[in-house]
């Protein structure tokens, strides 16, 4: 979620004495409130357009700079950025996924804050200047916590030689393919009974989909014969924490893949045609940069054994990438102050 990337920068701006006005919509509203960020305006989960009110809002506020995220779905961020650009107000954009700047469409930010140099190359032409600030998932990995009972259960699984597989649904469209491929890879392993699946199938922003129950039901049936543990007792363990603890995290391009790497765990990206099509639609990339760089493996149709993925994990490359992608919000602060 782009809000997580922006919040540390907002806090630095406030600490430096700048006047910061924040508006948010969708799930970002709750994230801002949890972090003590006051909001001037709040949108709803329905993501209703701001429309012509965007330029009127900016004309009344008269900001020196407008900072926006590149969320998916995107709504207010794109409208505000487009109006600011038309009004000659400098625009800075936070991009927490490779290719996310494409979501701004006609907007070309003055500065884009990106994960790494790969992101800058992929987004070439979509911003006037790029500043590499690292990956917010590095902070997520450091700060993720869980109930002590969850931690104890995870330790018991590790001590017993059980491989825990966190399966994350990037979207309701992709999740069935992700589950199917993960299940096939586990079944192809030497001893599937040594595996335990932890499903986190529905992203909160897609939870209102009326088809969710049917989708989840089909996904869980794909794991028939494989042990599944939902980690919901005594409370629901967060996906962030699970990614820092599970043996391997499986998704297509979801943030928990990176969270796992920052915690020294393993990750694999599902590469079915449907998943690649969806990734390309959201990011304009037909491939996950961490796979393309040889940092993690992909799981395709007729997937290889999960044993093989775990056994040949590219530990050195993963460690090198995680070290190079530590999040540095102060770099964003410096760039914003220089833009004024």
pLDDT digits over 96-119, tens only?
Answer: 999 999 999 999 999 999 999 999
According to the model, what pLDDT value does residue 92 have? Answer: 97
pLDDT, one tens digit per residue, over 251-305 is: 999 999 999 999 999 999 999 999 999 999 989 999 999 999 999 999 999 878 9
CATH number, domain with residue 115: 3.40.50.2000
Angle between helices 76-87 and 53-61 (to 10 degrees): 60
State whether 150 and 79 are in the same domain. no
State whether 81 and 228 are in the same domain. no
Q: Which residue has the tokens 């928990």?
A: 256
According to the model, what pLDDT value does residue 262 have? Answer: 97
Give the DSSP H/E element, type plus range, for residue 167: strand 163-168
State whether 232 and 295 are in the same domain. yes
State whether 318 and 335 are in the same domain. no
331 vs 265: CA distance, rounded Å: 27
pLDDT tier, 44 (very low <50, low <70, confident <90, very high otherwise): confident
State whether 75 and 199 are in the same domain. no
According to the model, what pLDDT value does residue 45 have? Answer: 65
pLDDT at residue 241 tops 90: yes
| Residue in 104, 62, 60 with CA at minimum distance from that of residue 81 | 104
State whether 334 and 284 are in the same domain. no
pLDDT at residue 46 tops 80: no
Give the DSSP H/E element, type plus range, for residue 295: none
State whether 61 and 167 are in the same domain. no
State whether 81 and 8 are in the same domain. yes
Contact 178, 292 (CB under 8 A): no
Mean pLDDT over 25-38 rounds to 90
Token pair for residue 249? Answer: 């995290």
Number of domains into which the chain is organized: 2
CATH number, domain with residue 227: 3.40.50
State whether 313 and 333 are in the same domain. no
83 vs 122: CA distance, rounded Å: 25
State whether 87 and 156 are in the same domain. no
Q: What's the domain range around 202?
A: 142-324
| Residue in 316, 248, 283, 317 with CA at minimum distance from that of residue 96 | 283
pLDDT at residue 200 tops 90: yes
Mean pLDDT over 137-162 rounds to 95
pLDDT, one tens digit per residue, over 13-23 is: 999 999 999 99
State whether 146 and 110 are in the same domain. no
According to the model, what pLDDT value does residue 173 have? Answer: 92
pLDDT tier, 311 (very low <50, low <70, confident <90, very high otherwise): confident
pLDDT tier, 133 (very low <50, low <70, confident <90, very high otherwise): very high
**pTM to 2 decimal places:** 0.93
Residues 6+ apart with CB under 8 A from 13: 20, 333, 336
State whether 122 and 204 are in the same domain. no
Q: Which residue has the higher pLDDT, 168 or 316?
A: 168
Q: Over the range 91-127, which residues count as b (16 or more CB within 10 Å of their CB) and which as e?
A: bbbbbbbbbbbbbbeebbbbbbbbbbebbbebbeebb
The distance from CA 294 to its chain's CA centroid, rounded to whole angstroms, is 20
């Amino acid at each position: 979620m782009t809000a997580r990337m922006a919040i540390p920068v907002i806090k630095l701006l406030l600490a430096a004495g700048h006047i910061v006005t924040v508006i948010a919509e969708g799930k970002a509203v709750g994230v801002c409130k949890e972090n003590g960020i006051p909001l001037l305006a709040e949108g709803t989960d329905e993501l209703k357009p701001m429309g012509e009110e965007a330029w009127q809002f900016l004309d009344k506020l008269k900001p020196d700079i407008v900072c926006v995220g590149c969320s998916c779905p995107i709504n207010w961020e794109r409208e505000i950025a487009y109006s600011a650009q038309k009004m000659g107000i400098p625009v800075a954009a936070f991009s927490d996924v490779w290719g996310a700047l494409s979501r701004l469409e006609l907007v070309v930010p003055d500065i884009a804050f990106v994960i790494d140099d790969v992101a800058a190359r992929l987004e070439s032409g979509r911003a006037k200047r790029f500043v590499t600030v690292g990956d917010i998932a590095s902070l997520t990995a450091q700060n993720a916590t869980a109930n002590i009972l969850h931690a104890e259960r995870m330790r018991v699984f590790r001590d017993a030689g059980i491989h825990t597989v966190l399966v994350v649904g990037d979207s309701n469209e992709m999740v069935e393919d992700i589950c199917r491929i993960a299940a096939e890879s586990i079944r192809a392993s030497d001893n599937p009974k040594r595996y335990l699946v932890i499903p986190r199938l529905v992203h909160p922003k897609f939870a209102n989909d009326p088809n969710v129950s049917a989708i989840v039901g089909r996904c869980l049936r794909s794991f028939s014969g494989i042990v599944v543990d939902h980690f919901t007792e005594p409370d629901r363990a967060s996906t962030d924490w699970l990614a820092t603890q599970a043996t391997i995290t499986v998704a297509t391009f979801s943030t928990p893949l990176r969270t796992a790497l920052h915690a020294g765990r393993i990750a694999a990206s599902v590469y079915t045609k449907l998943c690649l099509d969806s990734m390309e639609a959201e990011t304009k990339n037909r491939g996950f940069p961490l796979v393309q760089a040889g940092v993690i493996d992909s799981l395709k149709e007729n997937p290889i054994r999960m044993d093989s993925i775990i056994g040949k994990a590219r530990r050195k490359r993963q460690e090198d990438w995680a070290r190079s992608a530590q999040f540095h919000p102060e770099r964003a602060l410096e760039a914003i102050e220089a833009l004024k």
